[in-house]
């Protein structure tokens, strides 16, 4: 029973991180209709910036409880990058064919990966001080890290906050109007460019926050953004690209299947995920909660 509880908590832990990445990816696509291949690298940048900031703070003697405040700071650094990238590199290609979008965003993947290597080198960065700062919780004779429960809580709060922003605020109405018909929204007086920047910034923040909260339990390493992007695409394929509910359900499905796969059949763990995604595409090409509009 204890193992089942721990495996469930592990699944919720990974689902929280996956949801943050996939929700940002879906939001950007839903509003701008662009598949951002560089989204995984925003996750990686968030992890590296957070690990570096925590390392600097520890060297300066900052008390451990204050280090937790650096998690959203690392995510905010990714927002600044997104605010620069969106109008300069992405906005000119919104009306171009999908091939241009894929090429430009793939170029961003290479640029961001090289920048990470240039700034922080090829060695992993860790922030396990936060992991050790919180007590472990005994579950049926086994020990479970208390920090993982914090990550699950962050995922729940982020999901509720994003839902509130999209469906219960004036800005959410502007987002949905722009995603439905950009020209009509512009004709009605909405500043579509501003909506795009803010939507892209929110998506970047979600990805950066995912990287920030994972780095205390998993070192920031080169290539982690590519791995995260692959899983995020599996999530949005299952749940439906552009759907917040789909990102949540897809993250839960992928996380529970992956956790069970690691435990029982590690050799075919990824193959099972791809098989689920393929079955969903065959049954419903837009994903479980995707729209054909």
- What is residue 152's predicted lDDT score, i.e. its pLDDT? 95
- What is residue 206's predicted lDDT score, i.e. its pLDDT? 95
pTM: 0.92
What secondary structure does DSSP assign to the chain, as a single string? Answer: -HHHHHHHHHHHHHHHHHHHHHHHHHHHHHHH----TTHHHHHHHHHHHHHHHHHHHHHTT--HHHHTTHHHHHHHHHHHHHHHHIIIIIGGGTTS-HHHHHHHHHHHHHHHHHHHHHHH-SS-B--HHHHHHSPPEEETTEEE-HHHHHHHHHHHHHHHHHHHHHHHSHHHHHHHHHHH-HHHHHHTT--HHHHHHHHHHHHHHHHHHHHHHHTTTS-B-TTHHHHHHHHHHHHHHHH-TT-HHHHHHHHHHHHHHHHHHHHH-GGGHHHHHHHHHHHHHHH-TT-SS----
In the chain, what are the domain boundaries?
2-222
Q: What is the residue-level pLDDT of the chain in tens, covering all 293 positions?
A: 778 888 889 999 999 999 999 999 999 888 888 888 999 999 999 999 999 999 999 999 999 889 999 999 999 999 999 999 998 888 888 777 788 888 899 999 999 999 999 999 878 998 889 988 888 888 877 888 999 999 999 999 999 999 999 989 998 888 888 888 888 888 878 888 899 999 999 999 999 999 999 999 999 999 899 989 989 999 998 998 888 899 999 999 999 988 887 777 777 777 888 888 888 888 888 888 876 54
């Amino acid at each position: 029973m204890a193992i089942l509880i721990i495996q469930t908590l592990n699944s919720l832990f990974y689902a929280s991180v996956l949801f943050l990445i996939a929700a940002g990816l879906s939001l950007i696509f839903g509003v701008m209709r662009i598949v951002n291949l560089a989204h995984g690298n925003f996750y990686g940048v968030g992890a590296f910036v957070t690990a570096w900031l925590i390392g600097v703070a520890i060297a300066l003697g900052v008390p451990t409880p204050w280090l937790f405040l650096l998690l959203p700071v690392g995510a905010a650094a990714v927002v600044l990058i997104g605010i620069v990238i969106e109008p300069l590199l992405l906005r000119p290609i919104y009306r171009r064919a999908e091939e241009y979008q894929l090429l430009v965003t793939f170029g961003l993947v290479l640029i961001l990966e090289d920048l990470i290597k240039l700034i922080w080198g090829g060695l992993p960065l860790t922030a396990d001080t936060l992991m050790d700062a919180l007590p472990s919780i005994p579950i049926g004779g086994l020990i479970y890290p208390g920090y993982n429960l914090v990550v699950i809580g962050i995922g729940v709060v982020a999901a509720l906050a994003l839902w509130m922003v999209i469906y219960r605020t004036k800005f959410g109405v502007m987002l949905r109007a722009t995603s439905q018909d950009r020209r009509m929204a512009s004709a009605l007086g909405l500043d579509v460019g501003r909506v795009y920047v803010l939507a892209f910034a929110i998506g970047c923040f979600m990805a950066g926050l995912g990287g920030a909260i994972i780095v205390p339990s998993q070192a920031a390493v080169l290539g982690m953004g590519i791995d995260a992007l692959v899983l995020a695409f599996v999530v949005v394929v299952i749940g439906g690209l552009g759907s917040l509910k789909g990102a949540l359900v897809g993250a839960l499905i992928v996380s529970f299947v992956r956790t069970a796969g690691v435990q029982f059949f590690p050799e075919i763990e990824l193959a099972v995920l791809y098989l689920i995604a393929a079955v969903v595409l065959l049954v419903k090409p837009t994903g479980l909660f995707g729209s054909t509009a």
